[in-house]
Chain A
């Protein structure tokens, strides 16, 4: 395996042109980025609002669970048969896969913010929109980014299958290699997809850590803010009691 792999990777012809390795990596990243971005635009606002209103928990859990059972290859081939070849059907399939983790992440993130923090934000006179944006979202970021991480991994892995329905990406190396029994090419595709997934995962894991409340973000410590809000809620409650 290693010999086939090295000889394929070592051949300069495989590193340039319209079917070169760099272009395949860029294609794979492009499909994944496009799909994850669309999923995020669709899923995150819905998750945040549902989390803020504390509604629809069973809906979110249901969507998250049902997509685990949905076979991605089936969805992709079906969409291509129904909508035709091209970029849209496979991307649509990837978007469907990307939505549940992002929805669950943003919902759970907001839903699990300490109630006293939220009450504090309300007590100092924030509007509901401000409560969501200034108190809930900063505290929810780690779970939102975890959702992004899960979605990205699912999408990058499945984007490989897009080559089966005539798209590019690293899956091209796998399917073209299988067609001509060139294990070097197949193994190169598989190893590159794996490396890509591991790199992206490590980057997003770093991001999850970077957005933990308590780290200094933009000069102000978000945990400090939430503690501050909690204290003010206490003050507001105390003054309400004493004024009676």
Chain B
């Protein structure tokens, strides 16, 4: 008779995969719906507002003010405004959609500014109307900028979802509150690791989609220009 093989450390995440996978699925929904919502709202809004400098200035001001609102506060103010239950997942989705829209709106403007004048003129010359120009020239050329900011938005959302755990809807963040209440660090570590892995995975996935959608923007060699990367990070936040 041999004793069954026992691992000295069995991973908590594997033993409790049912609970964890349920949280993971909720987490993905809570983080991804806002990205879709953000794109659907920000792109038309950006196209609509981009021609008026005043409308742009006002919308950028409002967007950065909304982005300044702390996430927990926004989760709790939203039910007071739209009348949902205090602990409803809708609050988290609406709050993250607002943040995503604000970030996307800024990059829609940036993307539209970056469209070369000559390309727009060529579009006009072959008879594109204003709407056609926006849909067939401006939008496709905006794809690289939009995928870059979608990556930032996705990683930010995936991390922010966990804050929702303190109001009972936080996907993997539930592992933080449960682990804390039961004084069980491994559960919290599981949550942190899975959240970061999910962020990395989605980040790569969106980069891949961008690569596929915008063949002209693919880097020609492995040598990437890296000069102003950090400056870009600093100025696009906040």
CA distance A111 to B199 in the complex (A): 29
Q: Give the interface SS of chain A, mostly helix, strand, loop or mixed.
A: helix
Contact with B185, one of A64, A78, A108 (Cβ below 8 angstroms): A78
Q: Is the interface of B mostly helix, strand, loop or mixed?
A: helix
Interface: B76 (CB within 8 A)? yes
Query: Which interface class (under 10, 10 to 19, 20 to 34, 35 or more) fits B?
Result: 35 or more
Which residues of chain B are near A193, meaning CB under 8 Å?
A: 70, 72-73
Asked if A57 and B183 sit within 8 Å, CB to CB, the answer is no
Known: A161-B72, A174-B76, A194-B69. A78 touches B86 (CB 8 A): no
Q: CA A193 – CA B77 in complex, angstroms?
A: 11
Interface-lining segment among B114-122, B127-135, B158-166 = B158-166
Q: Which residues of A contact B185 (CB under 8 A)?
A: 78, 81-82
Expressed in whole angstroms, the minimum distance between the Cβ of A197 and any Cβ of chain B is 5
**Contact yes or no, A150 B192, CB < 8 A:** no
Q: Are A191 and B77 in contact (CB under 8 A)?
A: yes
Structural contact, A101 and B70, CB atoms closer than 8 A? no
Q: Give the A-binding residues of B (Cβ under 8 A).
A: 65, 68-74, 76-77, 79-81, 86, 152, 155-156, 158-159, 162-163, 165-167, 170, 172-173, 175-177, 179-180, 183-185, 188-189, 191-192, 195-196, 199-200, 226, 228-231, 233-235, 237-238
9 A-B contacts (beta carbon < 8 Å):
A78-B176, A101-B237, A104-B234, A150-B234, A183-B86, A193-B72, A193-B73, A197-B69, A197-B70
With A74-B188, A190-B72, A197-B70 given, name 19 new contacts (CB 8 A): A57-B226, A57-B229, A68-B159, A78-B192, A81-B185, A101-B237, A104-B234, A108-B234, A111-B231, A146-B238, A147-B234, A150-B238, A160-B72, A164-B166, A174-B72, A189-B73, A190-B73, A193-B72, A193-B73
